[in-house]
């Protein structure tokens, strides 16, 4: 289980992210939490029962975006699946917001005083469209949350050590969010999202960035880049505690 130091400072939020360990699916799926990768449904149900149970959560009471690499963020007040969005926002307590990942970046945004929560799936497409900026802006518009009192956790994802991308990314991301090595281009997805959060007015000291890379830690994480379409999927979950 991946935890966050910065989120752990607050009593009114619960957070956890799965790894590839602790599940019942045959390897290499292990702790796979997605029903959409060809895994046995009963195995996934048991994996979800274990992962969410460890956090004291009911696996049948979750708000889950049906992610599509967009910049659409949805306000939610109840459990269910939400079409065509990659981020959820709520001020409802005891409603877990879930993001599904295998290399893409999960970003938790929390305003502890007003208790407003956002949870975002940020791959390169969503990051290029500035989904975290849209989320911070929506939280401010809907709930009056000030960015300088928000905290953020950026979880394990594809790291700049491994995340090779095509040359066309030079037109999509600023040069200081890309690295050239051996005639190859690598995207620093975490820096891209940190830069966007700073541009929104978050304080650097309120942003925690996991240094873990999902691609080069095969013993810890599933990776779409490493394992392909049928790679297992991890989940990141965050919930306001009422």
Q: Applying CB under 5 A, which residues contact Zn ion?
A: 159, 161-162, 213, 215-216
Please spell the DSSP secondary structure of 22-47, one letter per residue: S--BTTTTBS---SSSS--HHHHHHH
The strand order across the sheet containing 116-122 reads 73-75, 87-90, 116-122, 105-111, 151-154, 207-209
Sign of CA dihedral 125, 97, 214, 42: negative
Specify the pairing of strand 116-122 against strand 87-90: antiparallel
Element (H, E) at 75: strand 73-75
74 CB-near residues (< 8 Å, 6+ apart): 65, 82, 85, 87, 88, 89
What minimum distance in Å lies between the beta carbon of 163 and Zn ion?
Answer: 7
What is the phi-psi region of residue 164: left when phi exceeds 0, alpha when psi lies from -120 to 50, beta otherwise?
A: beta
C-beta of 139 vs 215, nearer to Zn ion: 215
What minimum distance in Å lies between the beta carbon of 206 and Zn ion?
Answer: 26
What minimum distance in Å lies between the beta carbon of 193 and Zn ion?
Answer: 17
C-beta of 194 vs 213, nearer to Zn ion: 213
C-beta of 209 vs 216, nearer to Zn ion: 216
C-beta of 108 vs 213, nearer to Zn ion: 213
> CA-to-CA distance for 167 and 221, rounded, in angstroms?
27
What minimum distance in Å lies between the beta carbon of 238 and Zn ion?
Answer: 24
What minimum distance in Å lies between the beta carbon of 221 and Zn ion?
Answer: 10
What minimum distance in Å lies between the beta carbon of 224 and Zn ion?
Answer: 13
C-beta of 80 vs 218, nearer to Zn ion: 218
Contact 67, 121 (CB under 8 A): yes
C-beta of 55 vs 212, nearer to Zn ion: 212
């Amino acid at each position: 289980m991946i935890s966050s130091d910065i989120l752990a400072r607050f009593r009114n939020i619960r957070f956890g992210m799965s790894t590839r360990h602790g599940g019942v699916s045959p390897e290499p799926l292990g702790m796979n939490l997605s029903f959409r990768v060809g895994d046995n449904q009963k195995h996934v149900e048991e994996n979800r029962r274990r992962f969410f149970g460890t956090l004291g959560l009911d696996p049948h009471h979750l708000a889950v975006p049906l992610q599509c690499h967009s910049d659409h963020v949805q306000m939610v007040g109840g459990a269910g699946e939400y079409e065509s969005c990659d981020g959820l926002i709520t001020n409802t307590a005891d409603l877990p917001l879930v993001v599904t990942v295998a290399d893409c970046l999960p970003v938790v945004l929390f305003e502890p005083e007003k208790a407003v929560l956002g949870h975002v799936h940020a791959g390169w497409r969503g990051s290029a469209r500035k989904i975290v900026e849209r989320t911070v802006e929506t939280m401010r518009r809907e709930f009056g949350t000030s960015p300088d009192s928000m905290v953020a956790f950026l979880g394990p994802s594809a790291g700049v050590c491994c995340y090779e991308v095509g040359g066309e990314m030079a037109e999509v991301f600023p040069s200081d969010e890309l690295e050239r090595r051996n005639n190859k281009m690598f995207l620093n997805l975490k820096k891209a999202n940190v830069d966007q959060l700073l541009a929104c007015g978050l304080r650097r000291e309120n942003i925690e960035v996991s240094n873990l890379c999902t691609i080069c830690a095969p013993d810890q994480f599933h990776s779409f880049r490493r394992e392909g379409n049928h790679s297992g999927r991890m989940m990141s979950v965050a919930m306001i505690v009422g």
